[in-house]
A and B are shown apart, each in its own frame.
Chain A
Amino acid sequence: MSRLYNISSSPHVRNRLTTGIVMYGVILSLMPATVFGVYHYGFHAFLVIAVSVFSAVLTEFIFNYIAKKPNTIKDGSAAVTGLLLALCLPANVPLYIPYLGSLFAILFVKAFFGGLGHNFMNPALAGRCFLLISFSGAVTNFQVDGVSSATPLTDLAAGRVVNITDMFLTGTNGVIGSSVAALALGGLILWVAGGITFEIPVAVLVSFAAFIALFGGQGFDPLFIAAHLCGGGIVMGALFMATDPVTSPVTSAGKLLFGILVGVLSGVFRVFGSSTDSVSYAIIISNMAVPLIDEISIPTPFGYRSSAAGKAKNSKKLPIAAVALCAITLIAGVCLSGVYQMTKTKIEEQQMAANAASYQKVCPDAVEFSDDTDIRAAVEALGGEIYGTTFGKAYINNVVVGKDASGNVAGYVVSVTSGDGFEGNITLSVGIATDGTVNGIEFTELNETAGMGMLCGEDDFKNQFSGIQTDQFILNKAGGSTAENEIDTVSGASTSSGAVVNAVNAALDFYAANIK
């Protein structure tokens, strides 16, 4: 008997492409962003990336070992998750953050659901959202060279001017993988190499831009739209997160639908919700709609398309689904914006009442507050730009004059905003007596970390300013101040405290320059 040859079902040849190559392709195309991130944010960024990747791979290895499953770390998918997660974190996070994030991503989102190909949402983004919820402060504390400051997106949300070129090239201030140019380059490489198809990125970016144009509040302003496109990870999301094959639809039509859903939801969350995390949440929510999208986007096959029945079916089936999905998101968008519009005046009224109440508190002698033409002109002359050079991102909003019952000037109230808060803007009213003494401060906008930065709103901190006459307050990070103009920091919240001190100093400076 001569030897038997191998038997198998046709086809007997296979493409070179393997799961490993697909995954390492993604890693390779993330390299421009990774390298740039490390270059821009320094060595700590590298540590964050290394820990994240290591944690992801280790978690997968250990799980497979314990669960007696074949070892799957060499297919590269765990490393991709780790890398993607790291690129979504600020460079200065403590190293346990990427470790826990990757562990959560791999263990809870991927391994527990059956490993590669079975996770129902993007593990990297799920990991990031887990971190956002559990370690909100650390994950949104963006620092460059050790200095915290607001991200361009916070500025954008506050209606301030941002530098789009900076955002595009360097990713000014944000997560490690925030360089839009480097991400776009990687995405382009991935697309050319056939790693991703065009449907999802194009659908996400176009629908997102359209949504911003429609509901962003600035109409079709190319610069404004470009700024939104360059910030908040929409490019990263569109190119690398939403295109994750496991958690996106399998058909071309499905991918388009999914992309539109991601784009519109990102827009909704960006415009009406928390701006930094809009894309993450939009994608993981859309991930959960994928089985449904798959189901409605099954293409009509060859032979059923051209027959009369097939034609009718074909021309109806997909567009109906697409139109329905678009309509739902549009209606949701319109409702949200409607609610926003309706509540806007109400909110403004309440804001005014809150402002008025704060004026009264910091200028107790006054019975009436009014505008002063000269001072108003001085405020307007600032043009909404950052005030001065030594106060961080401080903005003078408004100054009112408080008068007592007999019409004499009882003091001034300067409303000032600092963009350097840990979680965004801090706005406060600073009451200044006619002799330059600070009567007191009162917050009208304070959204800092509960139990930490929020303590700035407590009297213990606020009262340190009251009754002091000085040119400048100084933040004492060690505590136990002796000098009058030294302010003890709120323990563990030096960023928030510093922002407040800077804001008060800006108010004093403005007072000295324009009112005194």
Chain B
Amino acid sequence: MSRKTFWGGVHPNDQKEFSRDVPYQVYLPKGEMVFPLNQHIGKPAKPVVQKGDAVLAGQLIAEADGFVSANIVSSCSGTVKDIKPRRTVMGTMALSIIIDNDGQFTPVQGIGAKTDYTTLSGQEILARIKAAGIVGLGGAGFPTHVKLAPKNASEIKYVIANGAECEPYITCDDQLMRTYAEEIVTGLKIMLTLFPKAEGVILIEQNKPEAIEAMQKACSAKANVRVLAVPVKYPQGGERSIISVVAGRELKLGMLPADAGCVVDNVSTVRAVYRAVCESEPLMEKGFTVSGDAVAHPCNLMIRIGTSCRELVEEAAGGIKEGMEAKKVLCGGPMMGIAMAGLDVPVNKSNNALTVLGEDEVELAEPEMTSCLRCGRCNQVCPLGLTPQMMAVAAERKNYERYEKKLYGLECIACGSCTYICPAKRPLMQLFKQTKAEIMAAKRK
């Protein structure tokens, strides 16, 4: 039932040559560390430390509050400076634990203790994942211990490690797969023990031949896991695209991957599962890319969660390139990343890149904006087969009934393909996000 590729999609310049062959460097932060309590989908975590407490790297500082929530551990040693609202990468304020980093990174006891996962029960594995505070590291931030415990665990057919990395500029997953192939495969095997009937699939875009080779090598001696190389097309890494390619099933709003017999996790999440289960290491660090044409040394970094973005750009990546000016800084890549007003925000669990751009293409395109030509290119590229052109008309007229019921507008995954391709340079994505927010707000009333 699997397909070669999904329907629609676009081919933006992948811009990965900036950092694709730069191996990981460990970057240890110098300044204060900030841990927002809402780094995941669900209820914010509850702090378990107080101002003035001494903490060690790997120590629990906030615990999951309720079923869909996640623990937060400190990624450095030092003292709790304050617990107060701080600005996040999203631009919003969130209650955060601020830790004065002592620069020692003294770990709590027990980190690094080796465990053979085959000796653990499913419950024990899930408990370790939950304790480690692992959430979807690819961007979604959904607590992993919840995702790995669906009601229909016995019906899951595919456990998919997502290494598509279809966002331009970002290369941290590519390097992760090249460097830690064994750990990823073992992580996937650990997850497979929870799903008796499932097969492990590692999905990688064909523009990462080294990663494909490394993962194939790591898979070769193992049963039940395989690598699936897929054509290069954005948004290949989207959950719905992946499931349609691997399982031939199409998800709609309100369906979970488990409903299609799939569990999808980013390769870095899969590796974090391995680290948590086999190395007793909670989620403190993750792979991260700092790239873009305006940054001096585009690089892949193994960073500590909670590090300030300013430090990553100015210290780790060598600052802004000589003679250039940063016009725009994105948390993530240019297709779905969030534009940040300033750099003084901490990296949270689900961020995976900073892209520093010397030109703002959105600003450049503004004078080119014309009326909609009705050319239909947006309809051709929408990976969900929606009709952005008609959605935009309905949204502009505030005809939300039509937008939702007739045009299925709420299905939009905000991939931005329509906006990317539009010759009239219409701000479609912005309109859709806003419309979706308005419709959802009206529903909650």
Contact = CB atoms under 8 A, between A and B. Distances in A.
21 contacts: A2-B343, A5-B339, A7-B339, A8-B362, A9-B429, A10-B337, A12-B328, A12-B360, A13-B168, A14-B365, A15-B422, A115-B371, A117-B370, A117-B371, A250-B375, A250-B390, A251-B387, A301-B252, A302-B384, A304-B250, A305-B250
A5 B424 CA distance: 25
Contacts of B336: 10-11
Given A298-B387, A302-B240, A15 B423 contact: yes
B390 A303 contact: no
Interface string B156-176: 000000000000100000000
A451 to B, nearest CB: 43
Among A2, A117, A247, A300, max chain B CB count under 10 A is at A117
Nearest to A199: B376
Interface string A263-296: 0000000000000000000000000000000100
A252 B382 CA distance: 13
A13 B12 contact: yes
A246 B424 CA distance: 12
Most buried by B among A13, A75, A248: A13
B383 A19 contact: no
B35 interface: no
A466 B380 CA distance: 70
Given A118-B371, A299-B387, 17 more contacts: A2-B342, A5-B326, A5-B339, A7-B91, A7-B341, A8-B328, A9-B433, A11-B12, A11-B419, A15-B422, A17-B423, A18-B365, A18-B368, A117-B370, A252-B379, A301-B408, A303-B384
Interface in A212-259: 245-252, 255
B195 interface: no
Given A10-B335, A22-B423, A294-B390, A302 B7 contact: yes
Nearest to A116: B371
B129 interface: no
B373 interface: yes
A301 B385 contact: yes
Nearest to B368: A18
B21 interface: no
Given A72-B370, A118-B371, A13 B361 contact: yes
B427 interface: yes
Given A19-B368, A302-B7, A303-B252, A9 B427 contact: yes
B376 A251 contact: yes
Contact of B407 (A17, A19, A20, A298): A298
B250 A8 contact: no
Contact of B334 (A4, A11, A300, A302): A11
Interface in B2-29: 7, 10, 12-13
A243 to B, nearest CB: 10
Nearest to B408: A301
A473 B411 CA distance: 79
B338 interface: yes
B214 interface: no
Interface in A1-44: 2, 4-15, 17-22
Contact of B374 (A197, A246, A300): A246
A301 B405 CA distance: 12
B217 interface: no
Contacts of A10: 334-339, 414, 416, 429
A295 B31 CA distance: 58
B126 interface: no
Q: Is the interface of B mostly helix, strand, loop or mixed?
A: loop
B166 to A, nearest CB: 12
A116 B337 contact: no
Contact of A6 (B13, B250, B360, B416): B360
User: Which of A12, A115, A247, A248 has its CB near the most chain B CB atoms (within 10 A)?
Assistant: A12
Given A10-B429, A12-B362, A13-B335, A299 B423 contact: no
A491 interface: no
Contact of B373 (A9, A22, A302, A307): A22
B2 to A, nearest CB: 14
Given A5-B326, A8-B360, A19 B255 contact: no
Q: How large is the interface on B (under 10, 10 to 19, 20 to 34, 35 or more residues)?
A: 35 or more
B299 interface: no
B419 A246 contact: no
Interface in B226-251: 240, 244, 249-251
Interface in A413-467: none
A14 B361 contact: yes
B389 interface: yes
B251 A116 contact: no
A307 B424 CA distance: 35
B390 A11 contact: no
A69 to B, nearest CB: 11
A250 B376 contact: yes
A136 interface: no
B151 interface: no
B425 interface: yes
Contacts of B362: 6, 8, 12, 14
- Residue picked from A21, A251, A255, A302, most chain B C-beta under 10 Å: A302
Nearest to B406: A298
Interface in B61-88: none
A116 B339 contact: no
A351 interface: no
A306 interface: yes
Interface in B186-212: none
B274 interface: no
CB-CB nearest 5 A-B residue pairs: A303-B252, A11-B416, A117-B371, A9-B430, A245-B375
B48 interface: no
B217 to A, nearest CB: 34
Which residue among B336, B361, B417, B421 has the maximum number of chain A CB atoms within 10 Å of its CB?
A: B361
Contacts of B240: 302-303
Contact of B380 (A117, A252, A305): A252
B421 A17 contact: yes
Contacts of B252: 301-304, 307
A298 B376 contact: no
Contacts of B386: 301-302
Contacts of B383: 302
A306 B1 CA distance: 12
Nearest to A245: B375
B372 interface: yes
Nearest to B251: A303
Interface string B282-321: 0000000000000000000000000000000000000000
A272 B326 CA distance: 67
A7 B10 CA distance: 23
A28 B259 CA distance: 51
A117 B374 contact: yes
A306 B334 CA distance: 32
Contact of A246 (B342, B373, B427): B373
Contacts of A21: 423
Contact of A116 (B335, B341, B373): B373
Contact of A5 (B253, B329, B408, B411): B329
A293 to B, nearest CB: 12
Nearest to A8: B362
Contact of A13 (B251, B253, B420): B420
B267 interface: no
B329 to A, nearest CB: 5
Nearest to A246: B374
A241 to B, nearest CB: 15
Contacts of A2: 342-344
A254 to B, nearest CB: 8
A19 B374 CA distance: 11
Q: Pick the most buried of A5, A118, A251, A252: most chain B CB atoms within 10 A of its CB.
A: A5
A103 B373 CA distance: 21
Contacts of A7: 91, 339-341
A433 B7 CA distance: 79
A228 B161 CA distance: 58
A19 B377 CA distance: 12
